[in-house]
Chain A
């Protein structure tokens, strides 16, 4: 069960510059946990001290905002893309 995770510029120092990485996981929470395991340091950038996704981090599954889905528990199907995107943009 492998998903593709799109990495924003701000986090590419942790992926050796890669804009996309493949990790396993069946939900957004699992995918992001595996991402942290594969690229240490990712977790503290994405989650605050209480373990919640930081308020300026948006996550999309197949281009849909997970806040319109099941949040961090949103299922990720094999081959789907999970995008991590800074919330501060637009307007």
Chain B
């Protein structure tokens, strides 16, 4: 926070104070936090970061809110695990998984929510709100409970039952909307104008919220010995996470914290049933035509992605690609990840793994690259995705005979 100069429009460069503003009043472009990188470079070292807490707040100097008094459930510093068995399946060499299923409410959204509500509280807000495809709903409801803030969480009514329950349990107001996420988002954008005293984490304080995703890059680099990976694969919903991971590596380079350069190629993953950014990439467009989502990957079902054009810029400028996969491939991806590496991801993780497989097969992601795939949400949130395809091997009476008859243990007992 001491290193924040203010906000700046990404499109026209107009400057704004660091308040609850997310859009340029003149051109409607997104506002970005402007930092004093020279001051950060002078004040922060790898050692000072390593001495910080095992959460996103170890990177407070590169975040737009004060660590002291943060709204904090312990988001971040999740495992980065080497995935040799999965790599072998996909024909890759050095593959790592950033296991963000390990966050307090089971997804990377705890990173952005913690930053957003910490800043919201600094700005005097007492009400937290959001439009969500589910993971953010969990996170905002939980962090608001922890902070003693009232909450209003808006979701599409057809969300997975698990995500509804794991939001409602925290109390607060949970409003299910008959419509898509894009309808929910539009309503929340309008409600923000009517309720300026509410902090909608992904509307009026979105500028701060989005910065939380940079910590994914910070952690990956630190966990790799302060080096940027060669290639990352990131799921795309609004596109914000992908652009901020790229920004995170660049900021480490800019502040002298990285060994070597932030040379990382960035690739994106979408569901074919909601792949507007993948379509734009394939067709060579620099704009994104909205679609109506139809996919089991509900956490990525944003038909009108706010950061789509910027995600395209990042992917193209770094030499990555954006793939899209079918619902069946998503389920296969979830199972492959679980069966090779013991990580149970929600549908977005299935999208990422299935897309990684395709990009590896087509030679975009290469065997000689150090690759990191981001697994951003826990499979317990989307049980329906795999409920029909996995289950008990056998259901038997509790006798040795029944077991011997039902289960072929040949070669499995020693």
Instruction: List A residues at the B interface (Cβ < 8 Å).
Output: 6-13, 19, 45, 54-58, 60, 63, 65, 67-68, 83, 85-91
Contacts and interface: CB of A to CB of B under 8 A. Distances in A.
Contacts of A55: 287, 309
Contacts of B196: 9
Given A83-B190, A89-B202, A45 B26 contact: yes
A57 B28 contact: yes
B193 A8 contact: yes
Interface in B273-297: 287, 289-290, 292
Interface of B: 11, 22-30, 131, 181-183, 185-186, 188-190, 192-194, 196, 200, 202-203, 206, 237-241, 287, 289-290, 292, 302, 304-307, 309
A88 B30 contact: yes
Given A90-B131, A91-B238, A9 B192 contact: yes
B23 A65 contact: no
9 contacts: A9-B192, A10-B28, A89-B306, A90-B131, A90-B185, A90-B188, A90-B238, A91-B202, A91-B306
Most buried by A among B25, B194, B206: B25
A54 B23 CA distance: 13
A55 B292 CA distance: 19
A67 B289 contact: yes
Given A55-B287, A56-B23, A63-B186, A89 B193 contact: no
Contact of A10 (B23, B131, B240, B309): B23
A89 B289 contact: no
Nearest 6 interchain pairs by C-beta: A91-B238, A90-B185, A56-B28, A86-B23, A88-B30, A9-B193
Contacts of A11: 25
Contacts of B29: 56, 88
Most buried by B among A6, A7, A85: A85
A63 B178 CA distance: 13
